[in-house]
A and B are shown apart, each in its own frame.
Chain A
Amino acid sequence: MIRVALLVAGKDLRIEARSRVLASQVLPFGVMALVLAGLALGPARAGHSGAAPGLFYLVLLLVTLLAVGRSQSLERAAGTRASVATLGLDPAGVFLGKSAALALELVTMGLVLEALAVVMLHVALAGALVALPSVVVTLATLAAAGTLYGAIVGEGPVASTLLPVLALPAFAPLLIAGERAFSAALSRQAEARWWVITLVALAAYLAVGVLAYGVLEDS
């Protein structure tokens, strides 16, 4: 399982390094969304500080949806699916590999967007650094959840529009937990409760994905 996970993650990351779709399209989208969020709030610094964590995570969710779609599209090209299926890869390894690659990509984009939030939304740098671990864990959870929902949606002409409808309700608790953890970090309060929620969600998505990814792929 681990061997397959490393193989699949390496393949996905190599494809992204070669195609730069996330770097040239998805990340710029996230940057624009965050800049627009700052403009929509107006110039008042006080307004920004309260809304910044929520806006930051809202943008991350949109970026996640696009990244999940891209990750799944790699396997959906005509012919590729059948050829790769005949390799008989362990589906649990495929799930873990795709989740790991997506998590790394999301964390990379998340770091850029968090730095931008410091500039555009006047987030305190020290608070942003304290919030960083929770951002990383939340993005890893979003990657696992997104990979699972990407497989549920499958392929077909409605896949790209169906994904947000199915995934966003499932992402909502992660948005709330992430926003609370970020807000707690900014105000230097305890944030253990939100960490626990996110870690439990991560464990649950990983367990379901390892057990069910093969069934979802075949269906």
Chain B
Amino acid sequence: MSLAGPAPTGPVVALEGAVVAHGGFPLLAGVTLELAPGTLTILRGPNGAGKTSLLRLLGGLEPLSGGRGVVAGVDLAHGDRRLLRRKVGWVGHEGSFYDDLTAEENLRFAARALGRPGAAVGPALARVGLTARAATAARRLSAGQRRRLGVAWLLVRRAELWLLDEPYAALDDEGRELVGELLVEARAAGVTIVASAHEALAFDGDREVRLAGGRVVG
């Protein structure tokens, strides 16, 4: 199955002094970062460093409080964040679904919302090894299976920018291997990937960005 949408030209992410603040408290305190298409970037840093805030900014889920930024061709300060959101695939470290819908129903909802064919759902479930659990309500899936469903959600989307917050959380060795394979495959297909991670990953990123106190420190 195809993993990527249309390939972008120029940097997918271009931030200059980006600030995200909540109630006057800066979660990101001036991040400058440029990411080329088809690259895999790993965000590192201690708790509270700003990894999740950076991912949320890139996904159009947090407004830009200061500085400048363009993500997937959308200006973060003046552009339509809703348009940006349609271009990204998001897997947070919590669940990503409606708990009372089955795995298949959740993916069908996402596919229909994005105007994608329902035929994309079956292969996505098969790719993450959840075909046998397609009719199981999301709330009855184990933490690892929910993680896999999150990845299937990405596969259905064909987004040009994948944002993953701790993609290995709750996964067993087999699941980690699967996610690693998919990310490498997606990168090869031209998808730009940004993932935060505490632990060692089974794949090499093109770049590691170290955050501390809401700033890039390495």
By the criterion CB–CB under 8 Å, are A88 and B85 in contact?
A: yes
Within 8 A of B (CB), among A1-49: 4, 7, 11, 14-15, 18-19
Give the number of residue pairs across the A-B interface with Cβ within 8 Å: 76
By the criterion CB–CB under 8 Å, are B94 and A79 in contact?
A: yes
The smallest C-beta distance from A76 to any residue of chain B, in angstroms, reads 11
Asked if A15 meets B92 with Cβ closer than 8 Å, knowing A4-B113, A7-B109, A86-B59, the reply is no
Separation of A15 and B99 alpha carbons in the complex (Å): 9
Q: Is A85 an interface residue (CB 8 A)?
A: yes
Q: Is A165 an interface residue (CB 8 A)?
A: no
List the A side residues contacting B61 at CB < 8 Å: 82, 85-86
Taking a contact as CB atoms closer than 8 A, the residue among B83, B95, B101, B114 that contacts A79 in the complex is B95
Asked if A88 meets B82 with Cβ closer than 8 Å, knowing A7-B113, A18-B137, A83-B153, the reply is yes
Separation of A78 and B143 alpha carbons in the complex (Å): 14
List the A side residues contacting B101 at CB < 8 Å: 11, 14-15, 18
List the B side residues contacting A19 at CB < 8 Å: 100
List the B side residues contacting A214 at CB < 8 Å: 82
Subset of 15 A-B contacts with CB under 8 Å: A11-B101, A77-B98, A78-B94, A79-B92, A79-B94, A79-B96, A82-B61, A82-B96, A83-B91, A85-B61, A85-B85, A86-B61, A87-B85, A88-B82, A214-B82
Binding site for A on B (CB under 8 A): 56, 59-61, 63, 81-83, 85-86, 88-101, 105, 109-110, 112-114, 137, 150, 153, 159
